[in-house]
Structure 1
Amino acid sequence: MPLKQNLLGLIFCCFFVISYFTNKYVLSVLKFTFPTLFQGWQTFAGGLLLLVSGKLGLVEMTSFTRSAALSWFPGSLLFVGNIYAGSRALSCLPIPFFFTLHNASEFVTIITLKLTQRERTSGIKLFSVSLLLVSAVTLPLCDPQFNPGGYMWAVVHFSCVGGYRVLQKSSHLSDLEQQYINYLFSVLLLAFAAHPTGDLFGALDFPFLLSYKFHSGCCASALLGFFLLLATVKLKSSLPSEHCEPWVFLAKVLAACLSPFVFDIVVNIPTLFCLLISICGEAMLVYSECRGPER
């Protein structure tokens, strides 16, 4: 593989790991558990940066019609559910646990495609997805610090992620166009939800509201999320889809393995076994994707 593609993959991994660590720091260490405000700020900053980048010609964004944007509204709703529930889950769960549950979204995607499009699936892919589902279902039963709220939001998160992937397969919009529409709808929906959820008034009593750590973390999370988006789009445009998956897998493994050195994690033998099963299942899934569709 050319040096340029390897460099793109490494840049993607760096942004992926640092972005997750920054979000985890704000949500868990600083305990800013107000996802409508946190994700509203991220989507507002991301949309603004994407718009400016498009105007300056730094990224390729073609104009799309209002009907095209409205047709993607179900995808935007799933995106909002994904980031909102993901923030809730990540604030309660260690990063390796979060990824184990996130991987169950592959099961949602495959089952939905089978029911709606009768898509054929290879045996090794079915087996790998079964391992991902088993590890995700077993993990809460083994977790020594079981948090029902965290796991509940994780279920909502991976369900939205799985459904979002299905809609992406049938969309004619580019990744950047989809994301820009997601940002627009997300800012509106999260702004309207800030008051009913109590996040707006709860944030006013947040002890770190005037702290430089809080402002630095929030600014970093927005910038890193935007750079991760650009790195992801660049990686997808430079590599075939089956060659992108190993880099995503590597980024998750790096984040999971490095997180115990940064954040406190309590594990036992059963939970460690669940994490390893999930990693093996995802490795097999990546292998099946690299092999291509079954003839």
Structure 2
Amino acid sequence: MSDDKKREDFGTELGDRRGSGFDAPPPPKMLPQSHSTTSSPLLPILAYCGSSILMTVTNKYVLSGMDFNLNFFLLCVQSVVCVMAIQSCKSSGIITYRDFNSDEAKKWFPISLLLIGMIYTSTKALQFLSIPVYTIFKNLTIILIAYGEVLWFGGSVTGMALFSFGLMVLSSVIAAWADIQHALQNYGGHGSSEASDKISTLNAGYIWMMLNCFCSATYVLGMRKRIKLTNFKDFDTMYYNNLLSIPVLLLCSLFLENWSSANIARNFPTERRNAIILAMVFSGLSSVFISYTSAWCVRVTSSTTYSMVGALNKLPIALSGLIFFDAPVTLPSVSAIAVGFVSGIVYALAKVRQSAGGPKTVLPTTQNPMSASSQSMRDSFKS
């Protein structure tokens, strides 16, 4: 799986960050399968798209109630389910990954902390924002990663990629404007207290989304550095990320979240309790599905095809918010989805052209002389 695609698509689904490396993952050790199953590209593509949508929808379902505030507990359950699932698969001989090593765990632990920050801010943003707006704003992370790559890894982008960045920013502005206009028009206008509360909720979501973009970019860049040192593969990162996250998430949930009986009743109302618990468990399993189906998609097709699938997949994910939840369907909101979708396609095409040896344009921040501190930071990342 190419570095470019992994950075482009990592933010689309809530669970995809748990187990993705940045080098093309080798085919997992699998039981023999029929030729028709492993050679047809349609099945793995549909499986990858379906698992991505499923992860986003199930998390939004759990977080859609504004009374839900046990986010650390949700993430802990997902990590426990994921570890149990991949351990069962390893015991059955379906997949393989390295055994636990304390020295490797110590080196990987900072990455797990970054993952926790990224996923937690992601759940908070998804709690306050609709799926289409969440998906559109996640594209901004690509820009931060691109600048980080240029500053610290000596990367570069094409003019076509820069154009896609502009479209990403434009789609985010349209999405935010559409949300605010919908709140004002449907909740009594500027002077209404209900409209003010709704806009305050949206503003909180935008703040969490901004924090998530920064956390996500830091996690991706940090993990790229660490993977080069540890030579972790796809299921290795999934195993260590989830296993090391469990004690931290559990402690955060016990000490930072409200475990009173009244709050538990608000988070798990009687009429939805079983459905919420099943959704939490299922979202943990979805992270395994995403990791496996993404590797399967690359094996059966190619990194280029996978890149295009990831770009096209943003559209059904955004549309799922319109179908399954009460996301506003207006001309501005649909326009924002369309522009965001086009920006993903343009970015994927830019990466295809760049990998083919097309002309490169250095990002604007690198045209000035590099400071000593920046040069030192770049050298430290390369070491």
Partner of 2:351: 289
Within a 5 Å distance, the mapping from 1:50-61 to structure 2 comes to 50-61=86-97
Query: Is 1:163 equivalent to 2:223 in the alignment?
Result: no
Specify whether residues 238 and 32 from structure 1 end up closer, same or farther in structure 2 by C-alpha distance, changes over 3 A only.
farther
Specify whether residues 244 and 148 from structure 1 end up closer, same or farther in structure 2 by C-alpha distance, changes over 3 A only.
same
Partner of 2:322: 260
Contact 1:53 1:59 in 2 (8 A): yes
1:148-200 Cα offsets, whole Å, 9 max, x none, are 11111111222222223323433121121111111012211111111333243
Specify whether residues 199 and 225 from structure 1 end up closer, same or farther in structure 2 by C-alpha distance, changes over 3 A only.
farther
**Hey, what's the Cα distance between the residues in 2 that align with 1:182 and 1:15?**
20
AA matched with 2:210:
V
AA matched with 1:200:
W
Give the secondary structure class of the aligned counterpart of 2:255: coil
State which of 160, 171, 176 in structure 2 corresponds to 1:124: 160
Deviates more, 1:108-117 or 1:165-174: 165-174
AA matched with 2:277:
H
Contact 1:142 1:271 in 2 (8 A): yes
1:78-110 Cα offsets, whole Å, 9 max, x none, are 211221111111111111100011111101110
**Hey, what's the Cα distance between the residues in 2 that align with 1:81 and 1:236?**
29
Query: Is 1:74 equivalent to 2:74 in the alignment?
Result: no
Query: Is 1:90 equivalent to 2:126 in the alignment?
Result: yes
Partner of 1:222: 284
AA matched with 1:260:
L
Contact 2:174 2:335 in 1 (8 A): no
Partner of 2:253: 194
Partner of 2:268: 208
Note the aligned Cα RMSD (angstroms). Answer: 2.3
**Hey, what's the Cα distance between the residues in 2 that align with 1:83 and 1:5?**
30
Deviates more, 1:178-187 or 1:192-201: 192-201
Contact 1:243 1:290 in 2 (8 A): no
**Hey, what's the Cα distance between the residues in 1 that align with 2:42 and 2:218?**
30
Contact 2:83 2:239 in 1 (8 A): yes
Aligned length, in residue pairs: 294
Contact 1:37 1:199 in 2 (8 A): no
AA matched with 2:221:
V
Question: Offset at 1:268?
Answer: 4.1
Specify whether residues 96 and 148 from structure 1 end up closer, same or farther in structure 2 by C-alpha distance, changes over 3 A only.
same
Deviates more, 1:214-223 or 1:33-42: 214-223
Share of identical aligned residues, percent?
A: 21
Specify whether residues 21 and 61 from structure 1 end up closer, same or farther in structure 2 by C-alpha distance, changes over 3 A only.
same
Contact 1:36 1:191 in 2 (8 A): yes
**Hey, what's the Cα distance between the residues in 1 that align with 2:43 and 2:213?**
30
Contact 2:315 2:337 in 1 (8 A): no
**Hey, what's the Cα distance between the residues in 2 that align with 1:236 and 1:72?**
26
**Hey, what's the Cα distance between the residues in 2 that align with 1:5 and 1:279?**
22
Give the secondary structure class of the aligned counterpart of 2:276: helix
Deviates more, 1:119-128 or 1:268-277: 268-277
Task: List alignment gaps of at least 5 residues for structure 1.
Answer: none
**Hey, what's the Cα distance between the residues in 2 that align with 1:164 and 1:235?**
24
Contact 1:105 1:162 in 2 (8 A): yes
Contact 1:34 1:203 in 2 (8 A): no
Question: Offset at 1:52?
Answer: 2.0
Question: Offset at 1:66?
Answer: 2.9
Give the secondary structure class of the aligned counterpart of 2:97: coil
Taking structure 2 as the reference length, what is the TM-score of the superposition?
Answer: 0.70
Task: List alignment gaps of at least 5 residues for structure 2.
Answer: 1-37, 184-198, 359-383
Contact 1:33 1:91 in 2 (8 A): no
Taking structure 1 as the reference length, what is the TM-score of the superposition?
Answer: 0.89
Give the secondary structure class of the aligned counterpart of 1:285: helix
Query: Is 1:280 equivalent to 2:342 in the alignment?
Result: yes
Query: Is 1:234 equivalent to 2:290 in the alignment?
Result: no
Partner of 2:70: 34
Structure whose CA Rg is larger: 2
Query: Is 1:175 equivalent to 2:250 in the alignment?
Result: no
Contact 1:17 1:252 in 2 (8 A): no
